[in-house]
């Protein structure tokens, strides 16, 4: 038990003695603040998209719809959470520190488990930062525009689930990194998946049905941003997302144990 705690602390020491973790949390919080400011600035505007002027636009500040929209914003920075986790594992291979790491802990599965725990906590820190930034901007800026969100139980629930999503995506990132090992490959792969593959799958009618089973669909269900009606239920989506996190973790662990460290 002590040894397990030591290993998790070693991972934190690694994270806290380099800059990338601080940067990612800062960027995540800034992104959440930026999105919130954007939605608040244009709150109440009429839509000008395919629906034409007068179509559905952004909900006005102070409305329940506005609060619910803003509460889902932290989930928009899942990409940062994934990158955080991916870097956590791949930098061991990039800088060849996998060698001393596995020399100290030859039972490599323990290292991966320690990373999963350490980065779940790091994801939690990112989540707190993103949620805080969102709430702060929505309250101050929304208030200045005439209606700070009314933090109802529903809105708070959405906020918390959005934060939880960040934790799960950080865990997924650790697993993906352990699978791919190549840092650039894993980061680029994750970005392409999140910003190209999933949106296409979601918008092509023939595959739209499958979207709900993907991490993005599960995330949408969990955070209830109302993207589609054919999503899973909130907690089913959450469970599926957690399943993806565990799958990545188990696969990553098995491969890290089997592969030669050269």
Q: Which residues bind another protein (CB under 8 A)?
A: 2-3, 6-7, 9-10, 13-14, 17-19, 91, 95-107, 258, 260-262
Element (H, E) at 24: helix 20-41
Q: Which is nearer to another protein, 6 or 209 (CB)?
A: 6
- For the CB of residue 90, give the shortest distance to another protein in the complex, in Å: 12
Q: Which is nearer to another protein, 102 or 151 (CB)?
A: 102
Secondary structure of 120-158 in HEC code, one letter for each residue: HHHHHHHHHHHHHHHHHHHHHHHHHCCCCCCCCHHHHHH
Q: Which is nearer to another protein, 50 or 260 (CB)?
A: 260
Contact 159, 134 (CB under 8 A): yes
Q: CA angle, 259 as apex, 171 and 169 as ends, to 5°?
A: 10
**DSSP structural state of residue 224:** T
Residue with tokens 């739209």: 208
Q: Which is nearer to another protein, 7 or 31 (CB)?
A: 7
41: CB partners within 8 A, 6+ apart? 141, 145
Q: Which is nearer to another protein, 97 or 207 (CB)?
A: 97
- For the CB of residue 173, give the shortest distance to another protein in the complex, in Å: 18
d(CA 74, CA 76): 5
- For the CB of residue 77, give the shortest distance to another protein in the complex, in Å: 23
Contact 110, 4 (CB under 8 A): yes
């Amino acid at each position: 038990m002590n040894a397990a705690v030591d290993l998790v602390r070693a991972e934190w020491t690694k994270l806290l003695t380099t800059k990338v973790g601080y940067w990612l949390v800062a960027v995540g919080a800034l992104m959440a603040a930026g999105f919130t400011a954007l939605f608040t600035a244009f709150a109440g505007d009429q839509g000008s998209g395919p629906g034409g002027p007068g179509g559905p636009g952004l909900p006005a500040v102070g409305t329940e719809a506005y609060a619910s929209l803003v509460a889902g914003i932290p989930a928009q920075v899942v990409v940062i959470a994934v990158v955080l986790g991916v870097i956590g594992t791949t930098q061991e291979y990039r800088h060849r520190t996998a060698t001393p790491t596995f020399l100290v802990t030859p039972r490599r599965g323990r290292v991966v488990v320690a990373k999963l725990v350490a980065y779940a906590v790091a994801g939690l820190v990112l989540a707190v930062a993103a949620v805080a930034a969102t709430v702060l901007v929505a309250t101050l800026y929304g208030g200045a525009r005439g209606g700070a969100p009314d933090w109802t139980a529903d809105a708070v629930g959405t906020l918390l689930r959005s934060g939880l999503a960040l934790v799960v995506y950080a865990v997924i990132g650790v697993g993906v990194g352990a699978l791919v090992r190549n840092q650039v490959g894993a980061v680029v792969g994750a970005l392409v998946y999140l910003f190209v593959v999933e949106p296409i799958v979601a918008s092509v009618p023939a595959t739209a049905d499958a979207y709900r089973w993907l991490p993005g669909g599960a995330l949408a269900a969990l955070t209830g941003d109302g993207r589609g009606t054919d999503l899973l239920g909130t907690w089913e989506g959450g469970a599926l997302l957690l399943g993806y996190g565990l799958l990545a973790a188990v696969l990553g662990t098995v491969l890290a144990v089997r592969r030669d460290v050269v």
